[in-house]
Amino acid sequence: MESNPFIRAVADCLEGEIQASGGRFMEAAQSFLKAKEYTRTPSLSLALALMNSEQWVIALEEFTEIREQKAAMLFSFHKPWFMGTWVRALYEAGQFNLKSGNRPEAKQYFRQYLWVMEGADPSLESLREAEIILTGR
């Protein structure tokens, strides 16, 4: 078998996906676990295979690891610029959808923007604009 760890991990993941699609979740979990030995990263496929093979404790640990990794990516204290860029992107996506006539989608982005900005200075123009769009005033 291939000695390159990346190729080995990809092969194990592919094998796991094939096994999971055939309903062989225990085998799939084992393949995903082998892949994780190379990647050291949490895997949704692994978490689902563990859950479907009723390995509840390990599945919960994997889901927790996934959640923590995603939270660290979104709210990194080492990269505050990313948080600001992400928040701004919510607002701009709302603007784009509003201008393109997709008002329901725009409202969803503005709701998320307001939720993230809860506690911010209420005099910010972008906050007032988002509130007006959502309330229809």
Neighbours of 124 (CB within 10 A): 11
Check residue 19 and give its pLDDT. 97
**Confidence tier at 113 by pLDDT (50, 70, 90):** confident
**Average pLDDT over the chain, rounded to an integer:** 86
pLDDT (tens digit per residue) in 73-96? 666 666 665 667 778 888 888 888
pLDDT (tens digit per residue) in 103-112? 998 899 898 8
Structure tokens belonging to residue 86 = 């992400």
Q: Which amino acid is at 98?
A: L
Element containing residue 129 per DSSP (H, E): helix 125-135
Check residue 54 and give its pLDDT. 93
Q: How far apart are CA 136 and CA 121, in angstroms?
A: 21
**Confidence tier at 8 by pLDDT (50, 70, 90):** very high
Average pLDDT of the segment spanning 24-28 = 97
